[in-house]
Amino acid sequence: MSRSAVWHPFTQHALEPPMKRIASTEGAYLIDEDGNRILDAISSWWVITHGHRHPVIMQAIRSATEACDQIIFAEYSHERAETLARGLIEIAPEGLNHVFYSDSGSTSVEVALKMALGYFHNRGEPRDRIVVMEHSYHGDTIGTMSTGERGVFNAAYKPLLFGVDRLPFPEVGREEKTLDAFETFCRSGQVAALIIEPLVLGAGGMKIYEARVLAGLKEIATRHGCLFIADEVMTGWGRAGTMFACQQAGISPDILCTSKGLTGGALPLAATLCAGDVFDAHLSTDRRKTFFHSSSYTANPIACAAAVANLQIWRSEPVVERIRDLELLHRKNLERFTDDERFANLRQAGTIAALDLVVPAGGYLADVGPRMRRLFRERGLLIRPLGNVLYLMPPYCVTSDELARAYDAIDEVASIVLGKV
Ligand SMILES: *Cc1c(COP(=O)(O)O)cnc(C)c1O
């Protein structure tokens, strides 16, 4: 094999072996060029919901390609984007009734931040502070990095990042601190928006907090006229147990970002949903109040067709039952690690389960991460620990045996890296 010209994401090429090439995908598996089947226990970076190459989505993509490719999305619209927008509004929390398309989770968040700032700008109210939660992740563009946790990932870009106000993570029993901090920031009158990952902070280490914190934050935001942005890029589409995680708190955000599972994970697409008053603040005969955002591939019709098919799967297949079953399977499997001194913080939110490996030096760059990754790979499993945080987030088609195999591997690999075998 000749040396690859490809520069991979989040990859230190000086430390990684040449990469195995995946030839095909099927259900919960990646199949490499030698025919080895790798269990995709993290849904290919959290995007695949039902399973790889779901036939309904694949068929929708094929038939869309018979009709169109990219279509400019200003001046013209297309039926698939319209159908999808109506479908999204139907399933989204109440009050979200406008849909702005883009092409990735990061851009959906950039769009949300611009909508929030535009809202106050167009109303002539000078508010420009953004409040975020500690340990958050909202993407890797400059704006989304600014709202995310600072650290080794973005140290080099610090001069370009804008300042935000940070809430402490609502640890169990310390939820009031988070709410109080938000109340204090809001009292300044400068806060335009709070952006938050509802219930689960993903890349920050699968940190899970209670729904009532979300409800409390929403109440404070509403009282101070500050916009509430739910970044549901990871938590949406059943990942945290309900269609959108916000629904567990019974709240409607002013703006909601969705991507990853929007097409069932098959194609890149994103949507930023917003409430009527956010749209209305941009509705004017004054052209300066236009929402100035676009990307070339806005509302790509083939991606929209995949997303419409995804909605159809949610309507016609027992997806909710599959999610509930997976939730129970996680719970049962996690039980074996209760009172196991090798692990701490066993936790679960819907189809996501996580636990921390007890090691002296944690953190993302801890050597145990890459070591475990290699050991999982050798066992035919795709599991990528976040430092010492082990988590499973499989597609919903995963079987009980497949999931048990992933837990067995965690058990075995943990003992190896801790030197206990
Ligand atoms: C993955 C993720 C993003 C970024 O999405 P991309 O499609 O990778 O740009 C944003 N927010 C959250 C919560 C995510 O998990």
Beta bridge partners of 52: 27
- CATH (residue range 57-316): 3.40.640.10
Mean predicted confidence (pLDDT) in 256-278:
98
**pLDDT band, residue 367 (cuts 50/70/90):** confident
Closest Cα partner for 323 from 351, 284, 362, 281?
A: 351
Q: Crossing angle of helices 175-187/211-223, nearest 10°?
A: 10
**pLDDT band, residue 20 (cuts 50/70/90):** very high
Mean predicted confidence (pLDDT) in 51-66:
98
Is CATH 3.40.50.620 what the domain over 318-417 is classified as, yes or no?
no
**pLDDT band, residue 363 (cuts 50/70/90):** low
**Residue 61 CA to ligand 1 centre (angstroms):** 23
- What's the rounded Cα separation, in Å, for the pair 209 and 301? 37
Predicted confidence (pLDDT) at residue 41 exceeds the cutoff of 80: yes
Give the atom of ligand 1 at the shortest distance from the alpha carbon of 202.
15
**Ranges in the chain annotated CATH 3.90.1150.10:** 318-417
Mean predicted confidence (pLDDT) in 83-104:
98
Is 242 a pocket residue for ligand 1 (Cβ < 6 Å)? no
Residue with the smallest CA separation from ligand 1 atom 7 is 105
pLDDT for res 213: 98
Express each pLDDT in 177-235 by its tens digit.
999 999 999 999 999 999 999 999 999 999 999 999 999 999 999 999 999 999 999 99
Is 139 a pocket residue for ligand 1 (Cβ < 6 Å)? yes
Is 137 a pocket residue for ligand 1 (Cβ < 6 Å)? yes
pLDDT for res 147: 98
**Residue 8 CA to ligand 1 centre (angstroms):** 17
**Ranges in the chain annotated CATH 3.40.640.10:** 57-316
Distances (CA, A) of 390 to 18, 137, 202, 328, 412: 24, 17, 12, 18, 13
pLDDT for res 3: 80
Please report, rounded to a whole number, the percentage of residues in the chain having pLDDT higher than 70: 98
Predicted confidence (pLDDT) at residue 365 exceeds the cutoff of 90: no
Is 268 a pocket residue for ligand 1 (Cβ < 6 Å)? no
**pLDDT band, residue 237 (cuts 50/70/90):** very high
Across 16-20, 134-138, 349-353, least confident range: 16-20
Give the atom of ligand 1 at the shortest distance from the alpha carbon of 235.
13
Mean predicted confidence (pLDDT) in 340-348:
97
Mean predicted confidence (pLDDT) in 112-133:
97
pLDDT for res 379: 98
DSSP, residue by residue, 7-44: --TT--TTTSPPPPPEEEEEBTEEEETT--EEEETTHH
Is 104 a pocket residue for ligand 1 (Cβ < 6 Å)? yes
Is 236 a pocket residue for ligand 1 (Cβ < 6 Å)? no
Mean predicted confidence (pLDDT) in 93-101:
98
Closest Cα partner for 195 from 240, 238, 139?
A: 139
- The total number of residues shown for the chain amounts to 421
**Residue 139 CA to ligand 1 centre (angstroms):** 5
Please report, rounded to a whole number, the percentage of residues in the chain having pLDDT higher than 90: 95
Is 201 a pocket residue for ligand 1 (Cβ < 6 Å)? no
**Residue 106 CA to ligand 1 centre (angstroms):** 5
3-state DSSP: the chain helix, strand, coil percent, rounded to 5? 40, 20, 45
pLDDT for res 2: 67
pLDDT for res 47: 98
The residue with tokens 């230190």 is 12
Is 145 a pocket residue for ligand 1 (Cβ < 6 Å)? no
Answer yes or no: are the C-beta atoms of 183 and 221 closer than 8 Å: no
Is 197 a pocket residue for ligand 1 (Cβ < 6 Å)? yes
Is 109 a pocket residue for ligand 1 (Cβ < 6 Å)? yes
**Residue 161 CA to ligand 1 centre (angstroms):** 18
Residue with the smallest CA separation from ligand 1 atom 8 is 105
Mean predicted confidence (pLDDT) in 105-111:
98
Predicted confidence (pLDDT) at residue 123 exceeds the cutoff of 80: yes
Mean pLDDT, all residues of the chain: 96
pLDDT for res 360: 78
pLDDT for res 126: 86
Predicted confidence (pLDDT) at residue 141 exceeds the cutoff of 60: yes
Mean predicted confidence (pLDDT) in 287-296:
96
pLDDT for res 366: 63
